[in-house]
Amino acid sequence: MSFSTDQLIALQALVAKELASRGGSSSSSSAPVKVKKGKKEKDPSAKPRKAGAWAGWTAHCPKEHAAEYETFKASSEKKQGIAPLFCTQWRKDHADEYAAFEVKWKEEHSSAESSSAEPSPAQPSPASSAPAPAPAPAAPQKASQEVKVRKPQSEETKAAAALKRAATKAKNAAEGASALAAAVTSAAPAPAPAPVLPLAPISIPAPAQEDEAEAEEDEDEEMPELLPFKLGGRSYLRPGVLRDGGITSWATGDLWESKKGLKGDWAGVLQEDGSIDLSAEEPEC
């Protein structure tokens, strides 16, 4: 069974009172009573302990998420020490956020410490009268490299990235196929030219000459007959062929007098100037 400091002091007072009432020596009541030692006093020369990232987190998180903190505080039965509990729970549910804060906090404090640190001058030794050598210049500290914290990607971002990768692969595959086809085409031998076959000669008759020859043949086939022919108011009979449309084709210039449509005496041969050669001999019919 253990007693607290207040209980031991109260017990000592009761014992002293009891001894005084009995007339006993009060010296016995002055015996030292062992009490529990309190915390050791801090050494003023000792360096203060640096606050870590967790201390900064407990100050940052309730302010950054004030609405969530108030909701958590209202729903909690225990009101004392609620801030550390909220910070612990938030760090557990949002590990990426805490990791980013921790990296940023370390960068800021490491850069602040490096800028505030200055080399202390060397103290001269009291035993030696000679001046101490000058301290070597401190090597410049390398700036802390910035650490980028990658935020978690959303499903839409992941899907877009996957589509982009698929499109890139398809494009590369198409370009490879085109290059392969071009290489195969260039490597393949050129096809041999097809043999040229001689064309059979085609005779194309002159249409005008053929038509005239056919017309002459038709005229030869049709036998001319004596048809009425008028010249200078007189009626004659002249050998010719009556064609369609009332057109007369004269075979010769021989003329006979017409006697009521019948062949009469020999009249002569019609000349180009329209005159009649009366001395021409009558052809045999």
Q: What are the tens digits of pLDDT across the range 198-250?
A: 565 555 555 555 566 565 555 556 788 888 988 888 889 888 888 888 788 88
List all residues 6 or more positions away from 278 whose beta carbon is below 8 Å from its beta carbon: 267, 268
Mean pLDDT of 77-93: 86
Give the SS3 label for residue 241.
strand
Q: What confidence score (pLDDT) does residue 247 get?
A: 86
Beta bridge partners of 242: 248
Take residue 211 and report the two structure tokens written for it.
């038509």
Task: For the full predicted model, state whether its pTM sits above 0.75.
Answer: no
Take residue 167 and report the two structure tokens written for it.
């499109």
Band of pLDDT at residue 29, cut at 50, 70 and 90 = very low
Distance CA 126, CA 230 (A): 172
Distance CA 205, CA 82 (A): 119
Take residue 3 and report the two structure tokens written for it.
């007693």
pLDDT tens-digit readout, 41-61:
666 665 556 668 888 888 889
Distance CA 253, CA 258 (A): 15
Give rounded-to-5 percent helix, strand, coil for the chain.
Answer: 45, 15, 40
8 A C-beta contact, residue 53 and residue 60: no
Distance CA 164, CA 153 (A): 15
Element spanning 259, H or E? strand 254-259
Mean pLDDT of 121-137: 49
90, with CB counted inside 10 A (0-12, 13-18, 19+), is: buried
Q: What confidence score (pLDDT) does residue 30 get?
A: 47
| Nearest to 52, CA basis, from 101, 89, 85 | 101
